[in-house]
Amino acid sequence: MPRTLGLIGSGNIGTAVARLAITAGWDVVLSNSRGPETLTDLVTDLGDKARAATPADAARAGDLVVATVPLYAYDKLPVDALAGKTVLDTLNYYPARDGRIAELDANDLTSSALLQRSLPGSRVVKVFNNIGAHQLFTLARPAGAPDRSALPIAGDDPAAKKEAADLLDALGWDAVDTGTLAESWRSEPETPVYVKPYAGESPAGLSPLEWFGWMQGTPGVTVPAARVRELTESAVRGPAGGVVPEGATFPERR
Ligand SMILES: NC(=O)c1ccc[n+]([C@@H]2O[C@H](COP(=O)([O-])OP(=O)(O)OC[C@H]3O[C@@H](n4cnc5c(N)ncnc54)[C@H](OP(=O)(O)O)[C@@H]3O)[C@@H](O)[C@H]2O)c1
């Protein structure tokens, strides 16, 4: 039976997930904040199995829905249209982009628990948040391949986690269940499993900006399930959003 993936957000990660889903035989419905007409080029590039819609229509169309917007927009998602759905959450907290969110700064909540609270009728599963969009694509492998990599998933609803794991499997990835949304800090930014293991060893002496440019083009290295488990289990919780440099200022939330 054909399945449909709804995407709210069609940037780096949304596009990579959409491409993999189409390769796996899914239909995709893309959306963004500016309107479906701004996604024409992307839809043309993705081909017949893609179309564009509003976020609410993408949510309604999806058998599964990926929320892949900047965290500052977490409370602008279509709550009613997402009710009853499993929502795959790629969001990461970057205060320099998102503004400061006191409950996250205090580690009272993980970012995924914050999203779950704003989508009370949905089943949120954290996934796809700890890998660069390029490596998500280049490291995908068929089931059983010796160099298959894994991604962590976290959520409060076992059936929703199974849906997420099944999607990952179809897209070319193993899944490692790292627990509940409260425990999902184990794959947030600055943790051992975040982005770097998949990118691999970078050339020496890169500035942070140069490293970012390198990371966006490097094919990456295999990170098998056992290594993902090791990395997530070794994580120590630090301040969400990272250590704030003295004198740093942050944008107001939009
Ligand atoms: N880049 C990565 O490799 C990566 C990896 C893992 C996780 N993440 C996380 O995943 C999320 C998406 O990252 P990204 O790099 O894909 O971001 P991006 O390239 O900036 O794309 C963001 C997308 O979200 C859409 N959007 C923004 N506000 C929206 C709203 N209110 N309603 C509907 N759509 C909205 C944008 O649409 P418009 O352009 O029309 O505003 C755009 O399509 C972020 O939270 C990021 O931290 C990123």
Q: Where are the domains of the chain?
A: 4-233
Q: What angle do CA 60, 82, 66 make, to 5 degrees?
A: 85
240 CB less than 6 Å from ligand 1? no
88 CB less than 6 Å from ligand 1? no
Domain at 4-233, CATH from 2.40.50.140, 3.40.50.720, 3.40.50.300, 1.10.3720.10: 3.40.50.720
* Residue from 69, 112, 135 whose mutation best tests the ligand 1 pocket (most atoms within 8 A of CB): 69
- Per-residue pLDDT tens listing for the chain (254 residues): 559 999 999 999 999 999 999 999 999 999 999 999 999 999 999 999 999 999 999 999 999 999 999 999 999 999 999 999 999 999 999 999 999 999 999 999 999 999 999 999 999 999 999 999 999 999 999 999 999 999 999 999 999 999 999 999 999 999 999 999 999 999 999 999 999 999 999 999 999 999 999 999 999 999 999 999 999 999 999 989 877 667 777 787 66
**Which atom belonging to ligand 1 lies closest to the Cα atom of 133?**
3
State residue 249's pLDDT score: 76
How far apart are alpha carbons 236 and 62 in whole angstroms? 35
pTM: 0.97
129 CB less than 6 Å from ligand 1? yes
How far apart are alpha carbons 35 and 76 in whole angstroms? 14
**Which atom belonging to ligand 1 lies closest to the Cα atom of 128?**
6
State residue 47's pLDDT score: 98
**Which atom belonging to ligand 1 lies closest to the Cα atom of 94?**
47
Taking residue 177's Cβ as centre, other Cβ atoms within 10 Å add up to 17
State residue 247's pLDDT score: 73
On the CB side of 252, CA atoms within 13 Å amount to 1
The phi, psi pair for 198, rounded to 5°, reads -80, -30
How far apart are alpha carbons 180 and 130 in whole angstroms? 16
The total number of residues written for the chain in this structure? 254
238 CB less than 6 Å from ligand 1? no
What 3-state class would DSSP assign to 177? strand
Bridge partners for 92 per DSSP: none
Give whole-number Cα distances, 177 to 11, 75, 126, 201, in Å. 26, 26, 10, 26
The phi, psi pair for 240, rounded to 5°, reads -60, 140
